Amino acid sequence: MTRYASIWFPYLLTEYAIRKKPELRDVPFVLVSPQRGRMVIDSATATAMQKGIRPGMVLADCKAIFPDLLMVKSEPGRPEKLLYALAEWSIGYTPFAAVDLPDGLILDTSGCTHLWGGETAYLENIKTKMAAYGYTVHTAIADTIGTAWSAARFGQPATIIKTGKQRDFLLQLPPEALRLEPEIQARLKKLGLQRIDSFIDMPRAALRRRFGETLPLRIGQALGHEVEMAIPIKPVEPYQERLCSMEPISTATGIAIALQKLLEILCQRLDSEGMGLRYCVFKAYRVDGDVQQIEIGTGHPSRNARHLFRLFEHKIATLEPALGFELFLLEATKTETVTEAQAAIWNMQSQNDTKIAELLDRISAKTGNHAIRRFLPDEHYWPERSVKQAKPLWEKPTTTWRTDLPRPIHLLDQPEVIEVTAVLPDYPPMLFRYKGKLYTLKKADGPERIEPEWWLSDGLFRDYYCVEDEDGARYWVFRSGPYHAGQPEWFIHGFFA
């Protein structure tokens, strides 16, 4: 059964302002913004609300009620930015965290609350952390988003609605608890329908005819009869494991133990599903709200917990625990299917391939992901297009290397211009200058004509020569286009062994 938590910030903007300016802590003030030529209240402190000030009121009227009220201008777009940041922080409690404008969050708590010792402890932990950051929160957990939203705003500061009991809870609440538009709320009250139990059992057709589609839809969503979707701020990774610590962990040994446990759990799951990970992220949530992470990648789908830990091991020292980490999260953000050939432990060739892949993973983890490259032949005539980088490293070639004609062991990414002298028509040069050095040629073989790939780009044909200088070094040079009265362009494109 899916369970949702609603987190409501009744004084979100004013408490954020107090965090930025602590001198406002004991001062009753409001945040205002211009609307239709008037200054309107966007948010008010608890002290100001005790004086009868409410969001939506005009500032001039509030000043008449409470002359000492302090005014602070609102920042445009601040609620969205602030809630998004708080939702990102909440990912430490669940992989599914969504913004609920204008003053709340929605968390999918399914399968998460047991890490904190149950739903009550889960909500208490969130409330304590938010209080430490200076935010007042009301929280609730229920089977549906609608009921959780209602319980957070109309129930106790931390309300838990048992599974299947959302109807019983909603009956005594006012219509506002269903997230209705003000016009519908006013119409219900005008008809004397002051509580949800006075109209919840009316036929849906009658409610729709009198109040439109919204009212029956909201009732259905709150009761779980209608589907309600929330959009998480980050996509939920399908392969994700969490480990909550009862006490903050601040030592490298403790972090390593947590990482090993998570890897073992994740690899068991990958093994049961025939998958292996290619990219993995280990996140550590610090008690002060800071989130740190280290990442690894593999050249081969792996579910070997020992091997993966060795890739992470030397990066653990980069984490800064300070007062300690309270939650660890491991995500396999990229996975691939592991074939039988890769998994067969009795296949000696497979064992050797796996060991080589793991060795390359360890080298890459220490030197960087781009330190090791492997190249494969590609089906192109133009030499610089005839080679491609293998992604991943074990990618199989789709064609074979060309061996009927000489090719340099070192091919430049792009040909480079050389200066030549003493050139006869359809003959290689006797001398050429490259990067300031003069080369005298003794031998040559060619030409080999390579036509341009007209379906990809325009250009002249090339006449390639394999030439050898007086020191025995060999080079791959070419003339671009036909020989003519003018001086043709010559290029160097590679070096032979």
CATH code, domain with 23: 3.30.70.270
Same domain assignment for residues 219 and 341: no
Alpha carbons 159 and 400: distance in angstroms, whole number:
67
In sequence order, the 6+-apart residues with CB closer than 8 A to the CB of 300 are 276, 342, 353, 354, 357, 358, 361, 392, 393, 394
Number of domain units in the chain:
3
Same domain assignment for residues 148 and 264: no
Same domain assignment for residues 219 and 264: no
Q: Any bridge partners for residue 329, and if so which? A: 242, 283
Q: Is residue 199 part of a domain?
A: yes
Place of tokens 């949800």: 196
Domain boundary pick from 235, 263, 291: 235
Helix (H) or strand (E) segment spanning residue 271: helix 252-272
pTM: 0.65
Query: What was the pLDDT predicted at 17?
Result: 93
Over the chain (497 residues), the average pLDDT of each successive run of 10 is 93 93 91 90 91 90 90 91 93 92 94 90 94 94 96 93 94 94 92 93 92 93 92 87 88 94 94 90 90 88 90 92 91 84 42 64 70 79 84 73 83 90 78 91 89 81 92 92 75 91
Q: Is residue 38 part of a domain?
A: yes
Domain boundary pick from 366, 390, 420: 366
Q: Is residue 54 part of a domain?
A: yes
Same domain assignment for residues 192 and 288: no
Each as own residue / partner, the long-range contacts of residues 270-275 (CB below 8 Å, 24 or more positions apart, any chain) are 270/239, 270/303, 270/332, 270/335, 271/303, 274/337, 274/338, 275/239, 275/301, 275/303, 275/335, 275/336, 275/337, 275/338
Region of 351 on the Ramachandran plot (φ > 0 left; ψ -120 to 50 alpha; else beta): alpha
Amino acid identity, position 149: W
Same domain assignment for residues 326 and 247: yes
Q: Is residue 391 part of a domain?
A: no
Rg of the chain over CA atoms, in angstroms? 35
Same domain assignment for residues 274 and 347: yes
Same domain assignment for residues 171 and 246: no
Cis peptide before 392 (omega within 30 of 0): yes
Domain boundary pick from 235, 254, 275: 235
Same domain assignment for residues 92 and 170: yes
Q: Is residue 143 part of a domain?
A: yes
Q: Is residue 384 part of a domain?
A: no
Same domain assignment for residues 67 and 166: yes
CATH number of the structural domain spanning residue 332? 3.30.1490.100
Same domain assignment for residues 5 and 31: yes
Q: Can you give the residue range of the structural domain that contains 277?
A: 240-366
In sequence order, the 6+-apart residues with CB closer than 8 A to the CB of 485 are none
Same domain assignment for residues 249 and 323: yes
Same domain assignment for residues 355 and 454: no
Q: Is residue 390 part of a domain?
A: no
Q: Is residue 471 part of a domain?
A: yes
Alpha carbons 345 and 336: distance in angstroms, whole number:
19
Query: What was the pLDDT predicted at 486?
Result: 62
